[in-house]
Amino acid sequence: MLLSLLLAMTADAERMHNAVSEAIRDEISYGIEATREKNIERYMEGVPADYRIVESDGSITDRESLRRKQLQAWEIITQTNKLAIDIESVDVGCDGACATVVTNQHWDRQMLGRDGKSEHNVVTTQRHTERWELRDSRWIQVAINELGGSIVVDGKPY
């Protein structure tokens, strides 16, 4: 009897983990499409009012700062060649209402140079630990911590 109960609990936990992982993967895909289309309203749709990004230098980026930074970044991006965010791991908590997600981002794009005319290929990678919460039936990324990555401009490390 105890074994049956443990197996049922394990199966329930696995179903919950899979459902949370899929929902977060869908939200990430939605954000990728918004970025490719440079659609700021769609991009900001899933960003809560209390959103905070802890930058690598320890500074905090809030929701409005994120909006400004994103619009500013999009101004100099002429084309996204590839944008992928892969989920490395998902740790579900809060009885299925929160998760810690480790992701790996790869963004290959064409960007204008400082002169505003020349174009360069820029490839960045970044590993993140992200905090996600289920709010009003939608998974929302509420915090992100950058763990390191690389920047390559025209094939050379930057």
Q: Over the stretch 43-57, which tens digit does the pLDDT of each residue have?
A: 998 888 888 777 778
Reference 33, options 88, 86, 80, 91; nearest CA is: 80
Q: What is the pLDDT of residue 58?
A: 87
Q: What is the pLDDT of residue 131?
A: 93
Q: Over the stretch 81-90, which tens digit does the pLDDT of each residue have?
A: 999 999 999 9
Q: Map out the domains of the chain as residue ranges.
A: 2-157
Residue 2 exposed, middle or buried by CB count within 10 Å (0-12, 13-18, 19+): exposed
Residue 113, beta-bridge partner list: none
pLDDT, the chain, mean: 90
Q: Over the stretch 123-135, which tens digit does the pLDDT of each residue have?
A: 999 999 999 999 9
Contacts of 24 by beta carbon, 8 Å cutoff, 6+ apart: 87, 90, 99, 101, 132, 139
In this structure, whether the domain defined by 2-157 belongs to CATH 3.40.50.1970 is answered with no
Q: Is the pLDDT of residue 10 over 80?
A: no
Which backbone phi and psi does 89 adopt, to 5 degrees?
-155, 155
* Per-residue DSSP letter, 116: S
Portion of the chain with pLDDT greater than 90, in percent: 73
Using the Cα atoms of residue 19, residue 23, residue 125 and residue 120 in order, give the sign of their dihedral. Answer: positive
Query: Which residue reads 């209402």 in tokens?
Result: 97
Q: What is the pLDDT of residue 21?
A: 94
Q: Is the pLDDT of residue 6 over 70?
A: no
Cβ atoms of 122 and 151 within 8 Å: the answer is: yes
